[in-house]
Amino acid sequence: MANLGNTEQSRLSIEEISKHIEVLLHASESPLTASMLRKQLSLSNQELARALAALKQRLADGVLSLCETASGYRLQIADHYSPFIQRIFPQRQERLNQALLETLSVIAYKQPVTRSDIEYIRGVTLSSNILRQLFDKGWIVEKGYKETLGRPALLHTTAQFLDAFGLTHLDQLPSMPDLTAIKITY
């Protein structure tokens, strides 16, 4: 990708720069990072922020929205069209079972964790199939080993996990409820 020349860039308004960003996002098969956009369009941090804000505003009433994920910026269909898309293309809807979601939640909130940590928290034996599915989706990785007997692998979530759930950072996960305040009666 060729850089926009400084003289050409200086003649462009923020609105025009936002259109260049939109074109690049349409043409790209994967999210584009802020660093890549700044470099290719010869922009400062402030110019990029203004151009992204202009793009977001322009898309606000349309069918696409600008989404920032851990891997960068991407265009996606606006959330309010989800029911329509799922009705027309039901095969796109993927159901994640409760065991997989529980396992993924433990990893996301408690990382780094080992398999035995997950089993202890969930109170059940962890199926290898669940971990395999999470590895296959690219949502978890092994990063290092716990310094204990058997040196079990430490599991972490990935940028693909954040992308799949529309997050840029783990701190965007919903806060955990105060479990001590919840009274269980039998």
Per-residue pLDDT of the chain (186 residues; tens, 9 = 90+): 445 544 444 457 999 999 999 999 999 999 999 999 999 999 999 999 999 999 999 999 899 999 998 889 999 998 888 888 888 887 755 678 899 999 999 999 999 999 999 999 888 999 999 999 999 999 999 999 999 888 999 999 999 999 888 888 999 898 877 656 655 555
What DSSP designation does 178 have?
-
Name the 3-class secondary structure at 23: helix
**The model scores a pTM over 0.75:** no
Q: 72 φ, ψ to 5°?
A: 135, -155
Question: Looking at residue 3, what is its pLDDT?
Answer: 52
What DSSP designation does 53 have?
H
Question: Looking at residue 51, what is its pLDDT?
Answer: 95
CA-based max dimension of the chain: 73
Hey, what are 139's tokens?
A: 């949502």
DSSP run (H or E) holding 57: helix 45-59
Question: Looking at residue 183, what is its pLDDT?
Answer: 57
Question: Looking at residue 176, what is its pLDDT?
Answer: 78
- Residue 14 half-sphere exposure toward CB, CA atoms < 13 A: 15
One-letter identity of residue 100: L
Domain(s) labelled CATH 1.10.10.10 in the chain stretch across: 6-86, 94-181
Rounded Cα distance, 47 and 139, in Å:
33
Q: 33 φ, ψ to 5°?
A: -80, 160
Question: Looking at residue 1, what is its pLDDT?
Answer: 45
CATH topology for the 6-86 domain: Arc Repressor Mutant, subunit A (1.10.10)
Question: Looking at residue 153, what is its pLDDT?
Answer: 93
The separation between the first and the last C-alpha atoms of the chain, rounded to the nearest angstrom, is 64
* Cβ partners under 8 Å of residue 116, min gap 6: 152
Q: How many CB atoms lie within 10 A of CB 79?
A: 10
- Give CATH for domain 94-181: 1.10.10.10
